[in-house]
Structure 1
Amino acid sequence: MKKIPLATALLSLGLLGISLPTFAEEVQVAVAANFTAPMKTIAADFEKATGHKVVLSFGSTGKFYTQIRNGAPFDVFLAADDATPEKLDKESGTVAGSRFTYAIGKLVLWSAKPDVVDAKGDVLKKNTFMHIALASPKLAPYGQAAVETMNKLGVYDTLQPKFVQGESIAQTFTFVSTGNAELGFVALSQVFEDGKLKSGSGWIVPANLHQPIRQDAVILTRGKGNKAAAELTAYLKSEPARAVIRSFGYDL
């Protein structure tokens, strides 16, 4: 087996903006459910590049906020919005200056079946379905974006009796993928791969129908001094990580 010179290996890590750690550390990361697939890939790549261990937990941004405020042992928080990390900043729950936007999410109206959702989202006004799923707007920013979209289109009041709400965007996706709801508002990253929908039918909601879904990352107070936490957030800004993020349909 051909050996790679140590200098070459160190240079490769340096190009990624990652320094080789003196010893490996573990970082506990709370990740918004919409970012599950890309973060699994990014974490695996980061572990190979640095030797650190990344422990991921996925859920709704609102629930994570409550858990963090109650002392949950997370070092880094990848939220589905920018308001929650900013709130933690003001409450002295973060490492000052560590917050940044790692992705801008996209909302999609999706059905697991082909030809249910049209290319313009007119299915919402036709209102011929029994159930429509969305994440809780109180817990999940994607749910709030779905509510804003329906209000802008003037269909919220009409459709409200048909709502099936999930605690997170992951649960919402399950409702739609299993057919418990004919269609629903989910994160584009959940149904997007290689530049197209993986299955079913969907309408990517225009950005002007809801507030931008700016997703911020931040190092929490517990992560202060943790090399793995600092290097993971740095890696999220690197081109290899950004390429993964783009591949799942996010803007940067």
Structure 2
Amino acid sequence: MSHAVFRWMPALCLALVSASALAAEVQVAVAANFTAPMKLIAAEFEKESGHQTVLSFGATGKFYAQITNGAPFDVFLSADDSTPAKLEKEGAAVSGSRFTYATGKLVLWSAQPGLVDDQGEVLKKGDFKKIAIAAPKLAPYGAAAVETLTQLGLMDKLLPKLVQGESIGQTYSFVSTGNAELGFVALSQVYEGGKIKSGSAWIVPGKLHSAIRQDAVLLSKAKDNPAAVALMAFLKTEKAKAVIRSFGYEP
């Protein structure tokens, strides 16, 4: 090996050590409806920042319980705005870090083409055995589904046919496998390339339920974690917003 190579090797080692010292890991609790977009956002974030992400997906209510019981999350991407606000008020999240990263849309969806019409009249006809919703106490999309059925005056009529998933991810699974003929899911779960990717659907008008504002918050234990702080900033970039729009959300 030449003397020239020996001369630059220490500098190379120092650069590698510095890069490794700068890289950090962020543990992210993500509402189940945001699974697909967050995987893409995390990959782009890792590529640009050098930080690593560890993603966990589930129901907002369950994550709240885990966080208040000391689960090792750094950032929380909720399916509502009230849970992050509550964590902030309780001192479990960094005050002033909370912001709305996406506004979600509720959709009545069936894996069967033609079953759900574009006005949601199938709900009034009741030509199905089971309709799936996410547990309203755990999942904001489930609460929005209950609001919708109540506004339509159909809650009592359809109550015997309701099956509940503990998260919107499990609810989607019920419908996609045919265990329920149709169900209320997040538009992002069935939306691709500007359209519903399979089956049949009715996008629920926003006037039938409260706005599904999804807030992100930096958790208190991670206030000095550079990866967590960087991810919160990345979620506000145009690159992240473009991904969010592509799944039918409003950034």
TM-score (norm 2): 0.92
Alpha-carbon distance, 1:96 to partner: 1.3
CA distance in 1, matches of 2:207, 2:112: 26
Alpha-carbon distance, 1:243 to partner: 0.1
**Counterpart contact for 1:191–1:199, Cα < 8 Å:** yes
Map of 1:6-155 to 2, 5 A cutoff? 23-155=22-154
Q: Give 4+ residue runs of structure 1 displaced > 4 Å after superposition.
A: none
Alpha-carbon distance, 1:22 to partner: 6.2
CA distance in 2, matches of 1:230, 1:120: 43
CA distance in 2, matches of 1:240, 1:221: 26
Fraction of identical pairs, as percent: 70
Partner of 2:195: 196
Structure 1 residues 194, 21: CA separation in 2 closer, same or farther (over 3 Å shift)? farther
Unaligned runs of 5+ in 2: 1-18
TM-score (norm 1): 0.91
Find the residue that maps to 1:49 and give its secondary structure.
Answer: helix
Partner of 1:11: none
Please tell me the residue identity of whatever aligns with 2:154: V
Please tell me the residue identity of whatever aligns with 2:179: N
Q: Deviations over 1:136-192 (max 9, x none)?
A: 000000000000000000000000000110000000000000000000000000000
CA distance in 2, matches of 1:89, 1:36: 24
Please tell me the residue identity of whatever aligns with 1:58: F
Does residue 165 (structure 1) correspond to residue 164 (structure 2)? The answer is yes
**Counterpart contact for 1:21–1:50, Cα < 8 Å:** no
Please tell me the residue identity of whatever aligns with 2:128: F
Alpha-carbon distance, 1:128 to partner: 1.1
Bigger radius of gyration among the two: 2
Structure 1 residues 21, 235: CA separation in 2 closer, same or farther (over 3 Å shift)? farther
CA distance in 1, matches of 2:93, 2:111: 39
Partner of 1:237: 236
Please tell me the residue identity of whatever aligns with 1:56: L
Please tell me the residue identity of whatever aligns with 2:123: L
Q: Deviations over 1:62-89 (max 9, x none)?
A: 0000000000000000000000000001
CA distance in 2, matches of 1:152, 1:96: 35
Alpha-carbon distance, 1:58 to partner: 0.2
Partner of 2:5: none
Structure 1 residues 52, 128: CA separation in 2 closer, same or farther (over 3 Å shift)? same
Please tell me the residue identity of whatever aligns with 1:57: S
Find the residue that maps to 1:41 and give its secondary structure.
Answer: helix
Partner of 1:8: none
Alpha-carbon distance, 1:222 to partner: 1.3
Please tell me the residue identity of whatever aligns with 1:99: R
Q: Deviations over 1:176-218 (max 9, x none)?
A: 0000000000000000001001100000000000000000000
Find the residue that maps to 2:108 and give its secondary structure.
Answer: strand
Find the residue that maps to 1:101 and give its secondary structure.
Answer: strand
Partner of 2:221: 222
